[in-house]
Amino acid sequence: MDADSLYCRSLVASHDYDRFVLAAAAPAAVRPALLALYAFNYEISKALAVTTDPRAALLRLAWWREAIEKDSGDTEILREIKTHRLDKTILENLIDARWQEAEKPTFASLDDTAAYATSCNAPLVSCSAMLAGETLSDNDTKAIACAYGMCGQIRSIVSMATQNRCFIPASLMYEIGIMPEQIHLLAPSKKLNDAVAMLAARAWHELEKATVSGPVLRRHKALTAFYLKRIGSVGFDPFNPRVYLPVPFLGFRVIFYDQ
């Protein structure tokens, strides 16, 4: 691996270990391309995490959009994108999804939350399959993307609340007893657990619809199922450390779970 490939590998291993585990299931020849894709996704998702000002996030996303459209910029990730000729449309779709969150930080309904999970993850799922030489229908792509994305939303509820960001739809927030803009006041409660259970049920519903073949997509589905069972095992409490903390030996556990 050259320096740029090593940079992307280190970034994904440190900040998006789930996808690092997924990349490990791919043939060795395509792993650098996958890691470049996942590193790019981490960078644009970070645009919303490093600031509470949506305008600053939009400026950061606009910089990435221009760099992709014009083949400008000279960062390790952009050089890897050029080296592996990653599809610009897929990269722009990922930016569009984050742009949507920056402009509309809350979601009205469960369907809105599911749609956002799909838009953030479907380009990654489809590109991962393409790079790994695996086939996947559009419906199966959306199902896996939605399930994995909603699982990630559940696991990040607590950390997102500290940034005043909310993945719980407003319709469920009202049942919990606080407004979406008061998400920073979120506290453990049975009503919160009930809301999370509804999110998890939707994720399970989507996951069970997906038919996959090939090691990367099969591991993607297995990883999502592993997390959803873990969330359910603690009563759907997003404040339980088993929900939001990294899982020790995740790679080995998912390999075993995938058998």
More confident residue, 50 or 27: 27
| Per-residue pLDDT at 259 exceeds 60 | no
Per residue in 140-165, pLDDT (tens digit) is 999 999 999 999 999 999 998 988 88
**Residue 16 within any structural domain of the chain:** yes
Q: Both 113 and 237 in a single domain?
A: yes
Average pLDDT, the chain: 91
The confidence score (pLDDT) of residue 81 equals 95
Name 186's Cβ contacts closer than 8 Å, sequence gap at least 6.
157, 158, 161, 176, 178, 192
The mean per-residue pLDDT over the stretch 236-243 comes to 97
Are residues 79 and 131 located together in one domain of the fold? no
pLDDT of residue 41: 95
pLDDT > 60? residue 235:
yes
Last residue of a domain, one of 59, 88, 117: 88
For 183-224, how does the pLDDT look when each residue is reduced to its tens digit (9 = 90+)? 889 999 999 999 999 999 999 999 999 998 888 888 999 999
The two counts, helices (H) then strands (E), for the chain are 14, 0
The pLDDT score that the predictor gives to residue 257 is 58
Residue that finishes a domain, picked among 55, 88, 121 = 88
How far is the C-alpha of 41 from the C-alpha of 121, rounded, in Å?
Answer: 9
Phi, psi of 2 (to 5 degrees): -85, 180
Whether residues 4 and 52 fall in one domain? yes
Nearest Cα to Cα of residue 207 among 131, 161, 148? 148
Burial-class residue 196 by CB neighbours within 10 Å (0-12, 13-18, 19+): buried
- In a domain, residue 187? The reply is yes
- Residue numbers of the domain that contains 84: 1-88
Same domain, 219 and 146: yes
User: Domain tally for the chain?
Assistant: 2
- Tens-place pLDDT, residues 5-38: 999 999 999 999 999 999 988 889 999 999 999 9
Give the model's pLDDT for residue 48. Answer: 83
Structure tokens at 151: 């699982």
Amino acid 256: pLDDT? 66
- Same domain for 160 and 72: no
pLDDT tens per residue across span 107-119: 899 999 999 999 9
What is the percentage of the chain residues whose pLDDT exceeds 70? 98
| Residue 76 shares a structural domain with residue 156 | no
Q: Are residues 177 and 202 in the same domain?
A: yes
Q: Does one domain contain both 117 and 77?
A: no
The CATH number linked to 179 is 1.10.600.10
> For 95-123, what is the mean pLDDT?
89
Residue 93 is assigned to a structural domain of this protein = no
Please report how the helices 17-24 and 215-233 are oriented relative to each other, as an axis angle in degrees rounded to 10: 140
CB 195 within 8 A of CB 175: yes
